[in-house]
Every structure is written in C-alpha cells, then in structure tokens.
Amino acid sequence: MKPAPFSYFRARSASEAVALLAAAGEDARFLAGGQSLVPMMNFRIARPAALVDLNGCADLSYVILEKNRIRIGAMTRQLVAENDPLVRGHCPLLAQALAHAGPATVRNRATVGGSLANGYPLAQLPCVAVCLDAEMVLEGPQGVRTVPASRFFVSAMVTDIRPGELLREAVFPASGPRARQAFRESGNHAGGAAQAVVCVSKDADLRIAAAGLQDLPVRIPADFKAGGSYNEALVAALLEDALRACR
Amino acid sequence: MQMKSARIGDSAPRVEDEPLLRGRGVFFDDLDPGPGTLHVAFVRSPHAHARVLSVNTAAAMTLEGVVAAYSAADFAGEIKPIAADFAAPGFKVTQRPVLAVERVRFVGDTLAMVVAKDPYVALDAAELVECDLEPLPAVVDAAKSDQVVFEARFESEGFESVHRKSEMLLRESFSAARMAAVPIEPRGCAARFDAGKLTMWSSTQVPHMVMTCLAEHLGLAEADIRVIVPEVGGGFGMKAAVYPEELLVAAAARRLGAPVKWTQDRFDDFLTGTQAREHTYDVEAGFTREGVLTSLSADITVNVGAYASLPFGSSLEANGAPRNMPGAYRLRNFRYRTRGVQTNTCPTGAYRGVAGPLAFFAMEGVLDRIARKLGLDAAEVRRRNLVTEFPYRNVLGLDYAEGCFLPALERALELAGYAGLRKRQKEHDGKDGRAYGIGVVVATEQTGMGSARYKARGLHRVPGFEGATVKLETDGSASAFISQAAAGQGHATTFAQIVSDSLGIPLAQVRVVEGDTGRTPFGTGTFASRGIVIAGGAVAAASESVRRQAAEVAAGRLECGAGDVAFRDGYAEVVGVPAMKVSLRDIAAQSGGIAATERHDTPGATIASMAHVASVVVDKRTGCVQVERYVVVHDCGRMVNPMIVDGQIQGAVVQGLGEVLMEALAYDEQGQPTATSLMDYQLPRCADAMPIVIEARHSAEGAAIFKGVGESGIMAAVPAIANAVGDALARDGVSVTSLPLTAKAIHGLLWNRSG
Amino acid sequence: MESIRLTVNGKACAGDVEPRLLLADFLRHRVGLKGTHIGCEHGVCGACTVRMNGETVRSCLTFAVQADGGTVETVESLAGDGPLTALQAAFHRCHALQCGYCTPGFLMVLTEFLQRVPSPSDAQIVQALSGNLCRCTGYVNMITAVREAAAEIRKEVK
C-alpha cells in the first residue's frame, strides 16, 4: 500500500504553517507525527492533495508551567512530554497516559497535538483532555481561539478544528500538591489495543472521564454503574481500579 | 564460526543467523529479476459476489509509466483455469479462472492486472481500472451454503449398536473462527523468460509444486522452468499454496518479454492469502460411568471459501478434521460425516496445524465434559482413555508403532505442579473477581506423510517424497542439495548437522542448497511437519552413501578395511589409530568429488505426540485471560537440534494462544472482510506470551526415528488454552464451545450464563 | 519532485524523490540497503524500524523528504563490517530469530532501548519487546537474549 501523490510543504513556524495550509487548497492537511495519518494515507483512505509538514516548527515544541496551567506545544513529542519533569510533577495523569500511548518508537514521533487533533475515541490523550477539561488553542487565518475539551471532541475522528486551523497548543490544569490521579486502560489482551480507558483526577474536585462508552470520551460520575454492555463493564472495572489507586 | 563437526542431537547455533542479523538476508522484495523489471498491481473485487459486466483498462493505460493492463480476455486460452480437486468419490470438481471472467466470488477475487515501471504507479493505475459489477447475494456462513465440494463419511463396524447402548451420552457443538497465517513477510513472485525458459522467484514453501503448476497451467515444459526461493519471512502454510498470481506474473513476463515482479502488501495479504480453520463440529459421545469414551459421532462442516486452492484443494481440513480426532485416545467406535463447503469468502488452504487444533479442541472438549459430568479430574479422564499398548492401530486404520502418551502426561502434570494448581483452584473463593483454570491435552501429530498417503487422499499434485544430493567437494567441504524451502526452521543448520554427523565435516563447511528447482532433486516442499522426517531421511541416506564411497577411498589410502574408517573433523582416520588419517579434501580431490542422490518416501505417517498443560487466570470483570504457566512434554523422536525444536514449539504455542484469545477473520453479511489490517487482526505480542517449559521425551523407537514437530505446538496449544478457560469458567456454569475466546466473548458468556 | 540530501549509515546520500516515497522504500531501493524490511505499511509490526536523527522511527510511516538534511541509521550500521554487537550475538546464542524478517526492526528498537535503559527489569524488557511483532519465535528467547545482552554491555562499559 503506497500513498496517492501529494504536494509537500515544509513549515518552519506555526504562522507559516497556517499560511501554507491556506495556500495549498482544500484537500491540504497538516503532517505532525504521522503515526495516525500516514497509515491512513498508505491505505489510501486519506488522500490529501497536499501535506504541510509541521516537524520543522520549533516554536510548536515546548512544555511551560504558568501559574496553575501547563501549556504544551502541539508538536511536543509524546515521549518528550512523558519524561518532562513539569508534566510528571504537575500533570501525572497525562504522564501516565503518555506511557500507554504506544511503543517507544511510535512515541518518538507521535505528538501531543497530533493525538488530540486526530480525535480517535479510544486514544489515551483525548480521554485525559476531557477528564481535566484541557483547552485547545487553535490558530487559523481568522486568528486564535481556545476551545475546551468538552466542546473540542465532536465525534469519532471529528473535532472542532475548522478548515485552515492549526491546533498549536494544549493547556492542562496543573495539579495541586495533594492531587491523586490515575490512568487505566484495558485491551483484549496484555499486548492489545485499548478497548476502554478511564482517567481519574482527585484534586480540588473529583473528575472522571471514560473512553469506549461513546464515539468520544465522556465525563462519568464516580458512582457509574455498568449496564449490560461489555464496554460499560470494562469502564466499571477500570474505574474501580483507578479510584482505589487514588485513595 | 564452528570448526568442529556437529552431531545429530547438538543444539548447534544456527549457521543462517549472521547474515540475517546484519540485515544481509535476501528476501523476495530484495531480489532484482533483471534490467527493465516491471511491477504489478492486481485489481481486486470489492464485492463478495457479483456478475462481471465489463472490465475497462483504458483509463489505467493512460497513466505515465503503465506498460500493460490485463483482464481475463487478454489471456483467454493461454492460462488454464485452476481445478484444484480431481474427480473422485466425494469431490465436486470446481474451476477457478485466474482472472475473473463472468463472476467474482469473494472480496479479493482478481479482476485485472496492471503492469507499470514503478510499484507506486502500478497501484495508481489499478485504481483507474473501471469494473462494472452487478452485485449478487453473498453466502458467508457455511451452514447456509449448498455448495458442498467435498464430503466423506466413515462408520466403524458395529458403531450403531455400541453407540445406542452407551451408558451415558453427551452432545455438544464446537465452532471456531477463520484464521490468517500472517507471516511478517507477505507474498511475492517474479518471472523472467530467457529464450523460452522461465525463471520464477517466489516466496514459497513449495518450489517444485509451483514449477509443476506453472507447466500445467501455462503449457510449458517442466524442463524449461526454474523456481528459485529466496529467504522466506515466514510461511506457516499460507505460502504452501500455488496462487493465481504466480501463473499471472509468469504469463505477463512471457507476453511482455521483460522481467515482471509483484511484491504483495499486507492489505492484499488479508484479502487473498489463503485462510484457514472455521469449522463446526456437532458431536455425540457415548461413555461409561468410569469416564471411558466408548463411541463418538461427529458431523463436521468446514468453510472452504470461494474456491478450492492449489495444491491441497477442498478436502484438506475437511478430511483432516475427523481423521485427527481419535488422536492419542483409545476410541474404538467412531462415525463421522465431514463436508467442505464453498462460500463467498477468501479461499482456504494450509495453516499451521491444519485440522489438528480444532479437532483436538472438540475432542478434548468432550473429555473435559465427561470429567465434569462425572465429577472426575480432567487428567484422570485422560489417563483412563489414553492408548497405552503398542503397536496400536487406531479405529481409522492408522498405525502407531510406539508411543509414550501416558508417561508424557504424567511428566507434564508433574512439571506443571498440577496437584498444587488444582488445590489453589479448589480453595479459591473467587471474591477477587478472578478464576483459575487448567487445560490438559494429549494429542498426536501425523508427520512425514509420504506419497502413498497423498495419493490416497486424492492430492495428486503433491508428490509426497523428497530428494537430496550430497556432495563431498574437492576442497573437502560438503554440499547438500535438498528439495525443501525453509521459512525460518533452520534447515541450513539441521540438514547440515545430518551431513556433518555422517561425514565428520565441520558444520561451517557444509552448505545447504534449498529452494531451487534447477539445482535440487525433485520433491514436495516444506509443510506438514515433513522436513526432517522425509527430507532428513533423504539427506541421511545420501550422506551415508557418500560416506561409504569415501570410506572405500580412505581405506585404500590408509591400508585398512573400509569398516575401520572413522570420520572426524574433516578427516578420515583409522579407528583407534587417529594418527593414521587422510583429509577428506585429499580423498575428494583424488576422486574429483564424491556425490550421491537419494529419494526418501514413507508409506504412511510417523506419529509424533505431545502432552500440554496450560494454567490460566481469567479476570471475570474484563474477560481478559493471562496464561500464567505452560508446559510441553513432547515426543518428536530423535531431535537433530533441540534448540531449534524448542524454538518451533515456542512459536507454535504462542500462535495457538493468538488463535484462542485474539485472532479472528470475520465477514459481514455482505461478505465484506472486517479484518484487513494488523489493527483489526491482532497478533500476540511479547506481553501476551508466557514462559514455556519444554521437555522432550520419546518412546523407545524415538531414539532412532525422526519425527516432525513443526506444528505440534499449535495443535495442542489451541485445545489446552481454550479448555483451560473452559475449566476456569465451568464453576460459573459457562460452557466454552467457540473460538476465539476474546475478552468480550468471555464477558458475554459470563453475563448470559444460565443460573 | 523534491531534492533531498541526507547521511545514511555515515555516508552522504542524495536523490530526487516524490514526496510520497516512503523512507523505507528510499533506503531499500535508492540507497540499496535491503536490511530494513516492510511488513505492514501501517506502523504496527515494526519490521521497518530505523534510526532517524538519533531516534528510532517506523520508516513506513516516514516520507523520505522528511529525512532531508538529517541522518538515518539502518540495521546494517549496527555491526558494520565488524563483529556482531552484544545484542546481535545474544540473539544468535539464544536462538531469538527464526526466519529473520522481523529481526532488523527488533534490533534497532532494542539497541535504542538498551542505550536508554542499561539495567532493565524483565518487565521493562517485555514492554520494550511488545512494540514489534514476530510470528515465528513466540518472543520467549528474545527476552533471554536482551537480558544477556544488557549484562554483557554493562560489563563492557565497566
């Protein structure tokens, strides 16, 4: 399987990326880590007429702690974010999730922004984002806007990113000194892909999100009870484990 | 690496490893068939069943770099349609055109072939071929199909009266999903004609059968065909089929007068690589209150797919399933009806274990149910049913010369700590949401089947014998030319060990040549656990012959009797007087090299056997299963290389784990395959595997006899792990009858259980 | 077409490539390094793993144009023309390869792993091995091989 032909543009900054995308036409897409997009291109399920490569945008790769927020540049590699002391110290839920986001080789390239922008309902980072109500900072030809996670994920693989917009930053709340956070996922087998994900954050308040119940991650209450479906049973089991870990 | 000679029985490190580790192994896509090589892409049917109204390649031809685009009409009369089965009682002969003429019968059936200067362009062009198809209803479920293409029945004498008088009776239905072999390297083939002579390179397990099928279907003389096999990145039986693509690539090369190459991608592999399994067993077992199985009736249906595939046809699994069932157990009354049924799904073929894993899943499932019904221990039921006296002729007429089934079972139970596992299971209150289960399996593997058996099965394209030429070269090294084609089994080492053992030549100086019909004797290929038994037999016989000749020459030089000559580390020496020696190089130089060619065949099959014990933990909340302990005690007779034997068993057991817990190729109602990537069809990873304790234990005959072992691991692992899960869930009133046992399926079983 | 220049296994390479040319295909067919193998082209099996700019990547998910101006190292660079590395030798000793098709990918991943985690626990070894697929070996001997290689490398470093 090889991709269909496309034009290629290299951006060296976020604003240049936005401009290149606008110039490249309707079927242009951003290339971040490529770990989700390129497989789809190889299957020819995705056939962008042009790719704007973000991998040279140094201004999109950062982890900054600002008062009670952690700002992560969209092109920050997942492995870098996972090992960043600010992330580990102030958003352990995110660090735990990143550790589960794939093999090391994938996380060398995959980006924090890429996973969020992809909006795969069973992915680790969207569930964390919904749990903590992270904010997505989008930059487009019309300017910059911020969208909270509760509105950012629309449905499976569909986000609120508008044509021409670049997800440039994700902002997570910094956890307090007494925060307890736990990430749990379950697949069919130990080496298998996640079929359900649960994120628990016990800080100023108790926040829980689950992936696998709907076509996007959703907040669930602490007393969530499974009905008859398998996915609900998984979520209930993971919730029990996660809550216990946060005691 | 090795300057000493190796003996049969040494765990000699493999001679093939170094180039592979350095990235210097030459696999199919690494080959360059010659200047001007063109690349192929196939246009596959998007419908499971449709009438072909037209195939228009005009648009594809306009793309720059496209050289040709063919549909059926372009090769009319040039390529014989495939008829894998021969007319014989029980068989319905069906045909398969290599390119669809008026109908496509599965998603993946071939409509057209595009040839271009570049593989990327070939794929672009394939998308531009316009196919006008009229969809027809598709049949996916074998139970709903009326296309029976193979049927066989058997009833042992007096069956009905014994069965009717059974003390106790149980009925059960077992079923399992479709499997894919998924070697990490997909398929590939390339062809080039030079002055009417065809060279084909193929990632295949069966070079000679590719050769004979090319001759048969393209009207060529076998003498004008050479099939060469590069390093093969795994086969597992999927590459033991001969495919329409091989015929088409050769035909295109002939037509275009240029080398033509096709490297398959993973998506195409999921669509067109021969698949396997998907059986149903309706069984009825009569047994005594002591847990002895007295009669067994089985009605088996096998989903063959859309076409019978070369060379094994429609009967491969349908015939093998019932014929494996008696296995290691003393079943004297057996009746079966077995059928191979066509559906609008991918054609099936051989996949490691073939019919064994599911036949044993059903058989061992019956024994576990007998145990549960009677309140007996599962291992005890095995004890009471195992064949213990040899020679033994089973109810199907298969001869077991010797066996050590019972001692193997006891040793496996001991190694597994069975008593402790049962104790833990009994004392476990289940409050932690887990369940422990144990699966016990004792099974046989029919290995090294020869020509008589293939003939009897109606598989006339499968020669059944193997050939080997062993040559002592003038520089004192040895070469062995063997009718095999390894895909990771270590033939370059194991066959070299046989030669080294016989001639005393250092292992590093024995070269093994396989996978080349132009340089090796005619034979069958590498599948069905036959390599060491049959090809090894040929290699041993040829080595022996060379040895005798060399001994004669040495005796002349050393002035002793030929019987007083011993071979060691490259020298022929007088027994007891090592100083009196002459190098094999001198002997060979003297005679210009010494060679011998031997063919080896077997009248039946050699019965290998194995006892497996699996211990699993089931998380009842999630349905996830972890195999925590796994024991194998096996009899593969005399092992050439124990390290390689263990490797084969480890790989096969983990494949079995995949088959039970995670792998399934499903089709929706329209016949669309739902698993066409490694994201859908998940394979076991290291985190899923477990330590596997392996011990070899053979019966008396085993000291002298080679038996096969390549498939025994998966044949027993599927029932062992499946029935361990069944054992874990039995306490909850759950019955395990169908595979795979995904976490979701297990959860469903627990949720829907009665009581 | 894009013009690219990069260093592969220490040697300067250049080429004119379509943007869609996968790095795996560039390495195999333009540079002639066939040790990198293609198993799936959707980033799951890991057979195509190479090092780009010092870190392992799946070369089936990377376009050759993205390697422009950088460095790539393939399995051929591990031992070069010299003796096998401790990891390769351990794979050989422990029979951790059978058909050898997935092996280059594993070697690249594990070489990076042992550089990052010189004293891995068995659990870490299992996790590191779980990113690549092997159909032949069942992984059992790979665990032993990595354990032995780690010990060997630590001894060499001392």
* Residue A51 at interface with chain C, using a CB cutoff of 8 Å: yes
Residue A191 lies in a domain: yes
Compute the average pLDDT of residues B168-185: 98
Residue A87 lies in a domain: yes
Write the residue in A189, A228, A240 that is nearest to B751 by C-beta: A228
Shared-domain flag, residues B324 and B435 = yes
pLDDT in tens, B545-574: 999 999 999 999 999 999 999 999 999 999
Shared-domain flag, residues A153 and A203 = no
How close C155 gets to chain B, by Cα (Å)? 22
Whole-angstrom Cα distance, residue B74 to residue B68? 10
Residue A91 lies in a domain: yes
Q: Which of B228, B243, B263 is the last residue of a domain?
A: B263
Give the structural domain span for B475: 17-26+465-600
Split at pLDDT 50, 70, 90, the class of B591 is confident
* List of chain A residues whose C-beta atoms are within 8 Å of the C-beta of residue B686: 191
Shared-domain flag, residues B502 and B596 = yes
3-state secondary structure chain A: CCCCCCEEEECCCHHHHHHHHHHHCCCEEEECCCCCHHHHHHCCCCCCCEEEECCCCHHHCCEEEECCEEEEECCCEHHHHHHCHHHHHHCHHHHHHHHCCCCHHHHHHCEHHHHHHHCCCCCHHHHHHHHHCCEEEEEECCEEEEEEHHHHEEECCEECCCCCCEEEEEEEECCCCCCEEEEEEEECCCCCCEEEEEEEEECCCEEEEEECCCCCCEECCCCCCCCCCHHHHHHHHHHHHHHHHCC
* Residue C57 at interface with chain A, using a CB cutoff of 8 Å: yes
Between B and C, how many CB-CB pairs are < 8 A? 165
* List of chain C residues whose C-beta atoms are within 8 Å of the C-beta of residue B21: 79, 84, 88, 91-92, 97, 100, 103, 107
Query: Is there a contact between C137 and B647 if contact means CB atoms under 8 Å apart?
Result: yes
Shared-domain flag, residues B283 and B241 = no
Q: Which of B231, B263, B295 is the last residue of a domain?
A: B263
Whether C65 contacts C26, CB under 8 Å: no
* Residue B621 at interface with chain A, using a CB cutoff of 8 Å: yes
Shared-domain flag, residues A166 and A65 = yes
Report the CATH number at residue B577: 3.30.365.10
Give the structural domain span for A29: 7-53
Write the residue in C2, C22, C109 that is nearest to A2 by C-beta: C22
Q: What percent of chain B has pLDDT above 90? A: 96
Shared-domain flag, residues B83 and B114 = yes
Split at pLDDT 50, 70, 90, the class of B1 is very low
Query: Is there a contact between C97 and B184 if contact means CB atoms under 8 Å apart?
Result: no
- Range(s) of chain C covered by CATH 3.10.20.30: 2-76
Residue B164 lies in a domain: no
Whole-angstrom Cα distance, residue B659 to residue B722? 9
Report the CATH number at residue A153: 3.30.465.10
Compute the average pLDDT of residues B123-151: 98
* List of chain C residues whose C-beta atoms are within 8 Å of the C-beta of residue B647: 95, 98, 136-137, 141
Residue A1 lies in a domain: no
Write the residue in B124, B624, B686 that is nearest to A186 by C-beta: B624
Query: Is there a contact between C99 and B21 if contact means CB atoms under 8 Å apart?
Result: no
Shared-domain flag, residues A73 and A153 = yes
- What is the ipTM score, two decimals? 0.99
Separation of CA B533 from chain center:
15
pLDDT tens per residue across all 247 residues of chain A: 999 999 999 999 999 999 999 999 989 999 999 999 999 999 999 999 999 999 999 999 999 999 999 999 999 999 999 999 999 999 999 999 999 999 999 999 999 999 999 999 999 999 999 999 999 999 999 999 999 999 999 999 999 999 999 999 999 999 998 999 999 999 999 999 999 999 999 999 999 999 999 999 999 999 999 988 999 999 999 999 999 999 9
Query: Is there a contact between A38 and C109 if contact means CB atoms under 8 Å apart?
Result: no
Closest CA to B489 of B290, B327, B708, B197: B708
Shared-domain flag, residues A42 and A92 = no
Residue B309 lies in a domain: yes
Compute the average pLDDT of residues B591-612: 94
Name the strand (E) or helix (H) holding B133: strand B130-135
pLDDT in tens, B398-434: 999 999 999 999 999 999 999 999 999 999 999 999 9
Shared-domain flag, residues B636 and B733 = yes
Structure tokens at B7: 């003996």
pLDDT in tens, B298-357: 999 999 999 999 999 999 999 999 999 999 999 999 999 999 999 999 999 999 999 999
Shared-domain flag, residues A148 and A214 = no
Residue B420 lies in a domain: yes
Other CB atoms within a 10 A radius of the CB of residue B689 amount to: 28
Residue A17 lies in a domain: yes
Shared-domain flag, residues B330 and B216 = no
Shared-domain flag, residues B427 and B306 = yes
Query: Is there a contact between A39 and C46 if contact means CB atoms under 8 Å apart?
Result: no
pLDDT in tens, B615-661: 999 999 999 999 999 999 999 999 999 999 999 999 999 999 999 99
Shared-domain flag, residues B237 and B96 = yes
Q: How many domains, chain A?
A: 3
Shared-domain flag, residues B225 and B281 = no
CATH architecture of the domain covering C83-157: Orthogonal Bundle (1.10)
Collapse the DSSP code of B226 into the 3-class scheme (helix H, G, I; strand E, B; otherwise coil) and give the result.
Answer: strand
Q: Residues near A114 by Cβ (< 8 Å), separated by ≥ 6?
A: A32, A33, A34, A35, A36, A37, A74, A75
Q: Is the pLDDT of residue B2 over 90?
A: no
Shared-domain flag, residues A86 and A116 = yes
Q: What separation in angstroms does the CA of A25 have from each of A20, B607, B634, B672, C6?
A: 9, 67, 65, 34, 30
Between A and B, how many CB-CB pairs are < 8 A? 69
Residue of B nearest to C30 (CA): B30
Write the residue in A39, A43, A51 that is nearest to C61 by C-beta: A39
Q: Is the pLDDT of residue B754 over 90?
A: no
pLDDT in tens, A24-65: 998 999 999 999 999 999 999 999 999 999 999 999 999 999
Query: Is there a contact between C20 and A105 if contact means CB atoms under 8 Å apart?
Result: no
Whether C61 contacts C45, CB under 8 Å: no
Which stretches of chain C drop beneath a pLDDT of 70?
A: none
Q: How many domains, chain B?
A: 3
Write the residue in B266, B686, B751 that is nearest to A191 by C-beta: B686
pLDDT score recorded for residue B71: 97
Split at pLDDT 50, 70, 90, the class of B755 is very low
* List of chain B residues whose C-beta atoms are within 8 Å of the C-beta of residue A243: none
pLDDT score recorded for residue B3: 63
Peptide bond just before B311 cis, omega within 30 deg: yes
Write the residue in A34, A43, A103 that is nearest to C130 by C-beta: A103
Query: Is there a contact between C141 and B650 if contact means CB atoms under 8 Å apart?
Result: yes
Structure tokens at A159: 């986000």
Whether A209 contacts A242, CB under 8 Å: no
Closest CA to B232 of B420, B477, B458, B514: B514
Report the CATH number at residue A35: 3.30.43.10
Residue A233 lies in a domain: yes
Shared-domain flag, residues B252 and B370 = no
Residue of C nearest to A39 (CA): C42
Shared-domain flag, residues A233 and A197 = yes
Whole-angstrom Cα distance, residue B414 to residue B416? 5
Residue of B nearest to C131 (CA): B685
Residue B171 lies in a domain: no
* Residue A236 at interface with chain B, using a CB cutoff of 8 Å: yes
Domain C2-76 sits in CATH at 3.10.20.30
pLDDT score recorded for residue A228: 83
* List of chain C residues whose C-beta atoms are within 8 Å of the C-beta of residue B22: 35, 75-76, 78-79, 84, 88
Residue B415 lies in a domain: yes
How close B24 gets to chain C, by Cα (Å)? 6
Residue A140 lies in a domain: yes
Q: Which of A144, A173, A202 is the last residue of a domain?
A: A173
- Range(s) of chain C covered by CATH 1.10.150.120: 83-157
Query: Is there a contact between C49 and A42 if contact means CB atoms under 8 Å apart?
Result: no
Q: Residues near B689 by Cβ (< 8 Å), separated by ≥ 6?
A: B654, B657, C138, C139, C140
Q: Which chains touch B (3 or more CB pairs under 8 A)?
A: A, C
Residue of B nearest to A185 (CA): B622
Split at pLDDT 50, 70, 90, the class of B701 is confident
CA atoms within 13 A on the CB side of C120: 26
By CB atoms closer than 10 A (0-12, 13-18, 19+), residue B511 is middle
Residue B3 lies in a domain: no
Shared-domain flag, residues A36 and A62 = no
B184, B631, B649, best to mutate vs chain C, most C CBs in 10 Å = B184
* List of chain B residues whose C-beta atoms are within 8 Å of the C-beta of residue C32: none
Structure tokens at B600: 């080896």
Tally the residues of chain B.
755
Query: Is there a contact between A103 and C22 if contact means CB atoms under 8 Å apart?
Result: no
Residue A55 φ then ψ, to 5°: -70, -10
Q: Is the pLDDT of residue B704 over 90?
A: no
Shared-domain flag, residues B301 and B218 = no
* Residue A237 at interface with chain B, using a CB cutoff of 8 Å: yes
Shared-domain flag, residues B480 and B614 = no
Shared-domain flag, residues A84 and A31 = no
Query: Is there a contact between A104 and C128 if contact means CB atoms under 8 Å apart?
Result: yes
Give me the amino acid identity at A49. A
Whole-angstrom Cα distance, residue B150 to residue B279? 14
Q: Which chains touch C (3 or more CB pairs under 8 A)?
A: A, B
Residue A29 lies in a domain: yes
Whole-angstrom Cα distance, residue B359 to residue B371? 19
Shared-domain flag, residues A146 and A225 = no
